[in-house]
Amino acid sequence: MQITTTINETKELIKKWKKDGKSIGLVPTMGFLHEGHASLIQKCREENDIVVVSDFVNPTQFGPNEDLEAYPRDFERDSQLCERIGADLIFCPSSEEMYHDPHAFVSIDLLSETLCGKTRPIHFKGVCTVVSKLFNIVTPNRAYFGQKDAQLALQRLMVLDLNFDIEIIGCPIIREEDGLAKSSRNTYLNTQERSAALCLSRAVRTGQQIIQTGMDAEQVLAAMRAVIE
């Protein structure tokens, strides 16, 4: 497995692989990898000749008072996990390597006021920007995203709208035994918050069961809200 930190050396490797006719899969991550990321990397391994994992805590998707500095990092553990699954390359650039000052943004206005955009106004803009840059650097045939994050829908929209010739593959959410979605940020939770967070997966399950009884959307929403409250 190779590790690159610069855009140029990454492009060189990709150029060589493409010349040899290899298909390329990309798994964009912010590192501190867990079984959720591993499932994406595994699927990417099964479907492509070359597996590229990006490991980059992207500053442009964090708001001014968010957890950019505190975001958990452990590159040594990440690289061991990637190696175990059989990734070919980890691309882990610095912020300075990825962004000039000033730099361009890619944004999809439609989503700036819905989903996470409602409470994190610049989040999706930062996500679209970094993923576009990764798409241009790695030029993958396929890119893998978890269903855990709204960015899956965003990326489908983005490749369509900006004519990226890349297949977006959505992967199921990997959960802890009690239902909590695995997440790098779960390390922030104390015991009480950890148990409160379960209301989300419980609400989703409740919604799933109620939909099957044929109730309408309003009734499903009301039942899910009741679980969360």
Catalytic residues: 37
Q: Per rule CB under 6 A, is residue 184 in the interface with ligand AMP?
A: yes
Q: Alpha carbon 107 to chain centroid distance? A: 17
Strand partners, 55: 29
Closest approach, Cβ 193 to ligand AMP, in A, equals: 17
- Of 78 and 218, the one with the shorter C-beta distance to ligand AMP is 78
Minimum gap (Å) between residue 169 Cβ and ligand AMP: 10
Backbone φ/ψ region at 26: left (φ over 0), alpha (ψ -120 to 50), beta: beta
Q: Is 174 in the site for ligand AMP (CB under 6 A)?
A: yes
Q: Is residue 183 a contact residue for ligand AMP (CB under 6 A)?
A: yes
Number of amino acids touching ligand AMP (CB under 6 A): 17
d(CA 93, CA 31): 12
Q: What are phi and psi of 183, to 5 degrees?
A: -155, 145
Answer yes or no: are the C-beta atoms of 37 and 54 closer than 8 Å: no
Binding to ligand AMP in span 76-105, by CB under 6 A: none
- How many CA atoms, within 13 angstroms, populate the side-chain half-sphere of residue 107? 16
Does 148 sit near ligand AMP (CB under 6 A)? Answer: yes
The H-assigned helical ranges of the chain are: 7-19, 35-47, 75-85, 95-98, 123-138, 151-161, 191-196, 198-212, 217-228
For position 130 contacting ligand AMP by CB under 6 A, the verdict is no
Region from 18-26, 33-41, 43-51, 189-197 binding ligand AMP, contact rule CB under 6 A = 33-41
Is residue 166 a contact residue for ligand AMP (CB under 6 A)?
Answer: no
Q: Which of 68, 149, 197, 202 binds ligand AMP (CB under 6 A)?
A: 149
Query: Quick one: which segment of 5-13, 32-40, 71-79, 220-228 binds ligand AMP (CB under 6 A)?
Result: 32-40
Q: Shortest approach of ligand AMP to residue 161 CB, angstroms?
A: 19
Measuring CA to CA, which residue among 182, 178, 225, 188 is closest to residue 204?
225
CB-nearest residue to ligand AMP:
146
- Are residues 89 and 50 in contact, defined by beta-carbon separation less than 8 angstroms? yes
Q: Which of 26, 137, 159, 171 binds ligand AMP (CB under 6 A)?
A: 171
